[in-house]
């Protein structure tokens, strides 16, 4: 007996229906034609690009870093501090930052809170609000629709944020606070979550900056890296770097910053942070600036800052650059030095204190030097006044 296929079934097999969705809009930034597969010949004789860091070892450039923490731990403070550190070239949590501009979309905090927090950060870093003009751009979306993703695709606001961010000169860091307000979809569904993170990674690549995306800790009792963030494990999988802030169980004033995942650095690094008297969350002053847990007394910190100041001053003199002790001058020594590698991650207040100590010890003084136009100028020089 010969098996036969009913005519209707055969027709259905021949007339295969292409059910793929063709009406979806082209994703922003996607090429009109991807060009097909290409072999590795395009890499022959070329060195691969290195990974650039906005915050060394913590926040890589041109991709998304997820910061996870419970409410009230200080993730928004830390993010706004990160923007400011980039702007003034100061270290963040003891790690070097790439100098440049910082912008932030803040969905929870109103304008007044952002302003108040920025004042505290400026006092902590020893900079003025004027120093941040054209460099720091915090925007409040409190009470507004801040959704960047809704119904499986990016929103008009997503496009607007990218367009406005592109106008910012030398943008290094874009903060988005937080997932609950910018992601209007199912946080437990890996498909839209992956799509959203992929869209943000694309934005970061196109802008050439890092995106720091803030979110809340998972309520799950399960331990492990991939259960750190609320919702699908795709939040952790889709981010290239994941930071976690957690209050120390034994010392509520101390906060642990841990690198729980990184595609480009060794995960597991932990840095001790502490709330300062001025209400800023930054590296614990009694812990080494490299993030290692090693108690340093005040005398050791002052000595280290003095060494950094003198090293910077020597480098500046070799470059023919002039610095002064006048705080309102663009040549104010601590502000110039803080971005230099010779500063060894010292903050502006550390360098300012070191400068006063060096003046008192007569290791530096204000002298007269020849300026750029060969006119005499007052500047900080090494050695005691009148010494040969």
Per-residue pLDDT tens digits for 207-244? 999 999 999 986 554 444 444 566 677 888 888 899 99
Distance, in Å, from the CA atom of 57 to the CA atom of 255, rounded to the nearest integer, reads: 19
On the question of pLDDT at 388 being above 60, the answer is no
Q: How far is CA 228 from CA 204, 232, 266, 311, 370, in A?
A: 23, 10, 18, 42, 58
Among 30-34, 42-46, 51-55, 126-130, the minimum mean pLDDT is found in 30-34
pLDDT digits (tens, 9 = 90+) for 111-124: 999 999 999 999 99
What is the rounded average pLDDT of the residues 12-31? Answer: 52
Report, as an integer, the average pLDDT of 355-365.
Answer: 92
pLDDT score, position 236 = 86
Instruction: Tell me what the mean pLDDT of segment 135-148 comes to.
Output: 97
Specify the DSSP class assigned to residue 231.
S
283-296 average pLDDT score: 51
Q: How confident is the model at residue 373 (pLDDT cuts 50, 70, 90)?
A: confident
How many residues are given for the chain?
388
Ramachandran region, residue 57 (left: φ > 0; alpha: ψ -120 to 50; beta: rest): left
Residue 23 has pLDDT above 90, yes or no: no
pLDDT of residue 269: 84
Sketch the domain layout of the chain as residue ranges.
53-283, 298-382
Q: How confident is the model at residue 292 (pLDDT cuts 50, 70, 90)?
A: very low
pLDDT averaged over every residue in the chain: 85
Neighbouring C-beta atoms of residue 106, cutoff 10 Å: 25
DSSP element (H, E) containing 307: helix 298-318
Residue 54, H or E segment? strand 53-55
Fold (CATH) for 298-382: Arc Repressor Mutant, subunit A (1.10.10)
What are the residue ranges of helices labelled H in 168-273? 179-182, 190-207, 234-238
The candidate with the shortest Cα–Cα distance to 298, out of 344, 350, 363, is 350
pLDDT at 223: 45
Question: Which range among 92-106, 150-164, 176-190, 280-294 shows the weakest confidence by mean pLDDT?
Answer: 280-294
Q: What's the rounded mean pLDDT across residues 159-177?
A: 97
DSSP letter (8 states) at residue 245 = E
Helix 111-125 to helix 75-88 angle (10° resolution) is: 50
* Cα–Cα dist 218/216, whole Å: 7
Q: What burial class does residue 6 get, using C-beta atoms within 10 Å of its C-beta: 0-12 exposed, 13-18 middle, 19+ buried?
A: exposed
Residue 157 has φ and ψ, to the nearest 5°, of -65, -35
State the pLDDT at residue 36: 87
pLDDT of 346 strictly over 60: yes
In terms of CATH, what superfamily is 53-283?
Answer: P-loop containing nucleotide triphosphate hydrolases (3.40.50.300)
How would residue 21 be classed by pLDDT, with cut points 50, 70 and 90? very low
Q: What is the pLDDT of residue 383?
A: 85
Q: What is the DSSP string of 334-388?
A: HHHHTTSGGGTT--HHHHHHHHHHHHHTTSEEEEEEE-TTS-EEEEEEES-TT--
What confidence tens digit (pLDDT) does each residue in 230-279 have?
667 788 888 889 999 999 877 778 899 999 988 888 888 889 999 988 99
Strand 64-69 vs strand 241-247: parallel, antiparallel, or unpaired? parallel
């Amino acid at each position: 007996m010969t098996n036969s296929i009913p005519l209707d079934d055969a027709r259905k097999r021949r007339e295969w229906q292409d059910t793929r969705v063709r009406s979806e809009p082209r994703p922003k930034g996607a090429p009109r034609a991807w060009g097909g597969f290409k072999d590795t010949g395009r890499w022959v004789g070329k060195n691969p690009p290195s990974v650039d860091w906005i915050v060394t070892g913590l926040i890589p450039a041109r991709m998304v870093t997820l910061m996870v923490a419970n409410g009230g731990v200080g993730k928004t403070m830390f993010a706004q501090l990160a923007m400011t550190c980039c702007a003034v070239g100061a270290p963040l949590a003891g790690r070097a930052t790439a100098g440049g501009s910082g912008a932030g979309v803040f969905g929870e905090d109103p304008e007044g809170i952002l302003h108040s927090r920025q004042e505290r950060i400026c006092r902590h870093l020893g900079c003025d609000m004027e120093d941040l003009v054209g460099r720091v751009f915090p925007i409040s979306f409190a009470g507004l629709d801040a959704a960047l993703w809704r119904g499986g695709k990016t929103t008009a606001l997503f496009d607007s944020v990218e367009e406005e961010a592109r106008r910012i000169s030398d943008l290094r860091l874009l903060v988005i606070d937080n997932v609950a307000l910018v992601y209007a979809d199912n946080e437990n569904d890996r498909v839209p979550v992956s799509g959203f993170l992929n869209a943000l990674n694309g934005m970061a690549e196109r802008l050439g900056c890092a995106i720091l995306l803030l979110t809340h800790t998972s309520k799950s009792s399960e331990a492990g890296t991939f259960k750190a963030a609320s919702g699908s494990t795709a939040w952790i999988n889709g981010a290239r770097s994941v930071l976690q802030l957690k209050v120390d169980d034994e010392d509520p004033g101390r906060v642990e910053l841990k690198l729980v995942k990184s595609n480009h650095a060794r995960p597991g690094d932990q840095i001790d942070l502490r709330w300062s008297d001025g209400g800023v969350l930054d590296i614990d002053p009694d812990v080494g600036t490299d993030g290692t847990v090693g108690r340093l007394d005040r005398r050791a910190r002052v000595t280290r800052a003095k060494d950094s100041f003198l090293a910077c001053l020597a480098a500046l003199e070799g470059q023919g650059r002039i610095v002064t002790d006048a705080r309102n001058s663009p040549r104010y020594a601590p502000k110039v030095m803080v971005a230099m590698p010779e500063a060894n991650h010292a903050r502006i207040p550390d360098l300012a204190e070191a400068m006063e100590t060096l003046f008192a010890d007569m290791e530096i003084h204000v002298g007269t030097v020849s300026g750029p136009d060969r006119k005499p100028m007052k500047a900080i020089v090494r050695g005691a006044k009148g010494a040969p």
